[in-house]
Amino acid sequence: MKRQKNLKTLIYHGSIWVLGLFMIYPILWTIASSLKPENEIFRNAASLIPSEIRWGNYLQGWEGFGDLSFATFFINSTFVTTMVVIGTLLSSTLVAFGFARVNFRFRMPLFVCMIITLMLPQQVTLIPQYILFHKLGWVNTYLPLIVPAFIGGIPFFIFLMIQFIRGIPRELDEAAYMDGCSTFGIFWRVILPLTTPALATVAIFSFYWTWDDFMTPLVYLNDTKLYTVALGLQMFSDPASLSAWGPMFAMSVASIIPQLLVFLFFQKYLVEGITAGGVKG
């Protein structure tokens, strides 16, 4: 009996590791390339082991461009991303609760409107949106990046929260109502604690999408001192001339670290979630 259990555990962990290797191969490759001398990156591309370790790539990458180092980009990205995560968490939970639990008129048409905005490619709204933000004097500030998050700019998250809230039994609301809770009280004391795993998901995604986003900062930020990491990363390369691939890969690795940390931090809320709160309990 015990041996069988051990065998099962072995198979479980073994197969996960084998598949996992395939999962992380690209990151291993990126790390390897970030340590290779420039002319080895593509000459000896399949090899994961550099002939000599070049820490210099990290140094050269970090130094950035002119007197603009990656420290600036990291600070900027951290600021923008933190604001966006806060904004997204606030706005998407409120809006989702409204859609999922309050039976107001025009609820369905408005919900449909929200879903439709997901289907229009950004490329064609970019120009009118730019003109709008330009008129507001927001170009070359972080406002076009941050404000939309506070006003529910990403319907993906609203829809996600709606789905989770709809999964929570209404008896809980009613019980709270009987105890004298207001609607907002139900949202704050009942629903929010029960959606912790979903909130963690929203936080992880909005962090990582914002951190990675290239187009919005590219278009709206002019002053290079305001640039984010994603912009910094692509400033190393120009296919037609001499690209700094080594430093580019080095900074790509550096850029993944905050994302991993955030993931590790939030993923424990994924695990806790309901089991700790106790739906039925």
Instruction: State which of positions 240-259 bind another protein (CB under 8 A).
Output: 240-245, 247-249, 252, 255-256, 259
Residue range at the interface with another protein (CB under 8 A); choices 12-20, 51-59, 72-80: 12-20
Whole-angstrom distance, CA of residue 15 vs CA of residue 83: 39
**What's the CA angle centered on 245, arms 230 and 20, to 5 degrees?**
75
Residue range at the interface with another protein (CB under 8 A); choices 49-57, 74-82, 132-140: 132-140
Whole-angstrom distance, CA of residue 80 vs CA of residue 67: 22
Q: Quick one: 84 or 233, whose CB is closer to another protein?
A: 233
Q: Does 121 bind another protein (CB under 8 A)?
A: yes
Q: How far is the CB of 75 from another protein (least distance, A)?
A: 19
Residue range at the interface with another protein (CB under 8 A); choices 51-59, 71-79, 155-163: 155-163
Q: Does 26 bind another protein (CB under 8 A)?
A: yes
Alpha-carbon dihedral 233, 239, 241, 244, rounded to 10 degrees: 30
Q: Does 190 bind another protein (CB under 8 A)?
A: no
Whole-angstrom distance, CA of residue 229 vs CA of residue 78: 9
Residue range at the interface with another protein (CB under 8 A); choices 42-50, 51-59, 74-82: 42-50
Whole-angstrom distance, CA of residue 61 vs CA of residue 251: 6
Kindly calculate the radius of gyration of the chain based on its CA atoms and give it in whole angstroms. Answer: 23
Q: Does 58 bind another protein (CB under 8 A)?
A: no
**Size (the chain), residues:** 281
Sign for the CA dihedral angle at 87, 90, 91, 96 comes to positive
Q: How far is the CB of 96 from another protein (least distance, A)?
A: 9
Q: Which of 1, 18, 49, 120 binds another protein (CB under 8 A)?
A: 120
